[in-house]
Amino acid sequence: MRKFIPVNRPLIYKSDINAIIKTLKDGWISSEGPNVSKFENRFSKFIGHKYGIAVSNGTAALEVAVQCLNLPRNSEIIIPNFTIFSNAIACLKNNLKIKPVDCDIFDWNMNLKKLINSITPKTKAIIVTHIYNFPMQMDEILKICKKKNIFIIEDASEVVGQLIHERKCGSFGDISTYSFYANKQITTGEGGMITTNSLKFYNKAKNLRNLSFGIKNRFNHDDISSNNRMSNIQATLGLNQLKRINSIIKKRHLVGRKYYELLKNNNNIFIQSPFNSYSENIYWVIAILIKNKLLKINAKIAMKKLNGLGIGTRPFFWPIHKQRTLKNYKFYNSKNFKNSEYISNYGFYLPTSLDLTNEEIEYICKCVNDIFK
Give the DSSP letter string of 340-360: HHHHHHHEEEE---TT--HHH
Maximum Cα–Cα distance for the chain, whole Å? 69
Give the DSSP letter string of 41-65: HHHHHHHT-SEEEEES-HHHHHHHH
Please write the tens of the pLDDT for every residue from 159-180: 999 999 889 999 999 999 999 9
Strands 192-196 and 76-80: unpaired
What is the enclosing helix (H) or strand (E) of 261? helix 245-263
Q: Is 8 left (phi over 0), alpha (psi -120 to 50) or beta?
A: beta
pLDDT score recorded for residue 101: 95
What is the set of domains in the chain, with CATH numbers? 14-242 (3.40.640.10), 245-371 (3.90.1150.10)
Please write the tens of the pLDDT for every residue from 183-222: 999 999 999 999 999 999 999 999 999 887 877 778 878 7
Least Cα distance to 189 among 230, 130, 247 occurs for 230
Q: Facing residues of 167 across strands?
A: 164
| Secondary structure letter of residue 132 according to DSSP | T
Across the chain, the runs of DSSP E, i.e. the strands, are: 51-55, 76-80, 97-101, 123-129, 151-155, 163-164, 167-168, 175-179, 192-196, 269-271, 286-290, 314-315, 347-350
How many angstroms separate the CA atoms of 31 and 138, rounded? 34
**CA atoms lying within 13 Å on the CB side of residue 126:** 29
pLDDT score recorded for residue 212: 78
pTM over 0.85: yes
Burial class (CB in 10 A: 0-12, 13-18, 19+), 184: buried
pLDDT score recorded for residue 295: 85
Q: Are 131 and 80 in contact (CB under 8 A)?
A: yes
Phi then psi for 179, rounded to 5 degrees?
-120, 145
Contacts of 216 (CB under 8 A, 6+ apart): none
CA 74 remoteness from chain centre = 25
User: How many residues in the chain?
Assistant: 373
How many angstroms separate the CA atoms of 127 and 86, rounded? 11
pLDDT score recorded for residue 269: 96
Contacts of 228 (CB under 8 A, 6+ apart): 55, 56, 57, 60, 63, 64, 208, 209, 210
What is the enclosing helix (H) or strand (E) of 233? helix 232-242
pLDDT score recorded for residue 333: 64
Per-residue pLDDT of the chain (373 residues; tens, 9 = 90+): 558 999 999 889 999 999 999 999 999 898 888 999 999 999 999 999 999 999 999 999 999 999 999 999 999 999 999 999 999 999 999 999 999 999 999 999 999 999 999 999 999 999 999 999 999 999 999 999 999 999 999 999 999 999 998 899 999 999 999 999 999 999 999 999 999 999 999 999 999 998 878 777 788 787 887 889 999 999 999 999 999 999 999 999 999 999 999 999 999 999 999 999 999 999 999 999 999 877 889 999 999 999 999 999 999 999 999 998 888 776 566 677 999 999 999 999 999 999 999 999 999 999 999 999 9
| Secondary structure letter of residue 210 according to DSSP | B
Contacts of 90 (CB under 8 A, 6+ apart): 59, 62, 63, 65, 66, 127
